[in-house]
Amino acid sequence: MDLLGKIRRWHFRDKMSIREIAAKTSLSRNTVRKYLRNKDLVPEYPERRPAATKLTPYLSQLNAWLAEDERLPKRQRRSTTQLFVALQAAGYEGSYGRVAAYIRERARDGGTPSSTVFIPLVFAPGEAFQFDFSTETVDVGGQVQTVKVAHIRLCYSRRFLVVAYPRESQEMVFDAHWRAFQTFGGVPRRGIYDNMSTAVDRVLPGKERDYNRRFEHMAAHYLFEPQACNVASGWEKGQVERQVALVRQWLFVPRPKFDTVAQLNAWLAERCEAIAQESRHPTQAERTIDEVFQDERPTLGTLPAMFDGFYERICRVSPSSLVLFERNRYSVQCAWVNQVVAVRAYADHIKVVADGNVIAEHPRQFQRNVTIYNPWHYLSALERKPGALRNGAPFVDWNLPAPIAKLQQRLAKLPNGERQFVTILSAIPTEGLEAVTVACELALEANVITSDYVLNMLSRFRPEAKVTAVPLPQDLQLKLEPEANPGRYNQLLKGPTPKTVMLAASAALWAAQTMLEGHHGAA
């Protein structure tokens, strides 16, 4: 009908000839003349049927498979390659491209009408947040690597935070929640998740879930209610699902480059803040996300202290005073050799705990077959084996203060220098590293390279002990204060006077009486 209207306008309004119209429309002149004579004539075209292909005999089977897959969750549907292989098994001899083109064409035409209805969700301020992980590629320390990015989003204000981690383990989940709640300044009343293994141990019928014990402990600590979506129903947390795609374009294209993951996370936090201040709220277009967030902040719950979110594993300390965790080894105090300890893994560090006390702490390593030593853990072993200073693995590249390192070089030239140096190191736990450093510097200045000199200096640094006066009994207090009278000494040289003898006898009698009373009291 659009073509018919053009032909009539060109001829009756623009005075174009039938020949010109025929050339312009690629129609015959008789067809143009027919349309001009009868204005009510509707153009009709013969139905064009596609030519039969090698796929035609198998279309009914392929359509049945596609209709069957459309009733399944997306993760359980067969791929185009799997359908092509199934058709080949049924006798199809055509190409893969023909099958793929038909499936695309069918999807473009709508396929089988779906009965699924998506209803927009509305949340009250402070009511809920959504959590999810995505996989991104970054450049850290000059190496391209894959990281897991945690996404946390407030459902009302759309304020969000993303944090990158080397892996998607439970301690990373705990750390991401703490960072997000700190950024938001409070805790919403409900958290919406998919059925990730770090939170859900078992999916029960309906909305019932068996949550992981540690995950439930975290939720109880922060006072929010966890809620898991239905299986393969990502639209139930559609906000964070959409955020994953947007954040990938905003922050990870092109690929970000940083020296460490900590620097990357600092930059991500800054960018999330900037985006919230610049972007308009999707339902309150006259306001930014940050402005809506300022209204939501007072409705959030009080933020408690940080949850002690760790993954714990029990292991035995090896004879080398090392514990094994995720194919990496970490040193502990020598006193715990061959003892059972607990290794607690956090998002960025490792703690070794025994009898309720932390006996070692190290930065967490995510490579493989790495050994992390703390030379101070082996100090007690050095007292028995000072020769280990030469080639002991924990003491290679030991970063000691310059005066102590220089004194070690000087002592190494002496016959018993290693033992003397170990004696100096043994004073550090009690005297402090700074005091020992100053004492070594004084020994170098005085050119007295001995451990005795260093220990002497350390004893001089100690403050003098305060002497507390002991109150004397009334009977022992002097009634007459002694006077400085040299003449009394001359009187003693002349021999005792009767008065002196009487005083001495009285003092001896009083002392004997006191001792006798003390003896009877003890009895």
Q: What is the DSSP annotation of 344-411? A: EE-SSEEEEEETTEEEEEEE---SSS-EE--GGGGHHHHHH-TTHHHH-GGGTT----HHHHHHHHHH
What tokens appear for 127 in the block?
């009511």
* pLDDT on residue 371: 94
Residue 477's pLDDT is what? 72
pLDDT tens sequence across 146-200: 999 999 999 999 999 999 999 999 999 999 999 999 999 999 999 999 999 999 9
Q: What is the pLDDT of residue 124?
A: 94
Residue 269: is it exposed, middle or buried by C-beta count within 10 angstroms (0-12/13-18/19+)? middle
- CA–CA dist 405, 290 (Å, integer): 54
Q: Find out whether the peptide bond into 46 is cis, omega within 30 degrees of 0.
A: no
Given a contact cutoff of 8 angstroms between Cβ atoms, the answer to whether 192 and 129 are in contact is yes
Taking Cα atoms as reference points, which of 279, 273, 247 lies closest to residue 164? Answer: 247
Note the pLDDT of residue 108: 74
Confidence of residue 498 (pLDDT cuts 50, 70, 90): low
Over the range 40-58, which residues count as b (16 or more CB within 10 Å of their CB) and which as e? eeeeeeeeeeeeeeebeeb
Joined together, the tokens standing for residue 144 give 């391209």
Q: Which residue has the higher pLDDT, 73 or 276?
A: 276
Looking at residue 221, its pLDDT comes to: 93
Q: What is the pLDDT of residue 513?
A: 65
| Spatial distance between the Cα atoms of 432 and 238, rounded to a whole number of angstroms | 56
Most confident of 39-43, 77-81, 184-188, 469-473: 184-188
Q: How confident is the model at residue 277 (pLDDT cuts 50, 70, 90)?
A: very high
Output the CA angle 97-101-102, nearest 5 degrees. 120
pLDDT, tens digit, 9 for 90 and up, residues 381-412: 888 888 888 888 998 888 889 999 999 889 98
Task: Please give the backbone phi and psi of residue 313, each rounded to the nearest 5 degrees, phi first.
Answer: -140, 135
523 pLDDT tier (thresholds 50, 70, 90):
very low
pLDDT given at position 113:
47
Show the tokens assigned to 323.
Answer: 């514990």
- Phi then psi for residue 24, to 5 deg, are -75, -30
User: Contact 160/129 with Cβ under 8 angstroms?
Assistant: no
- The pLDDT value recorded for residue 520 is 47
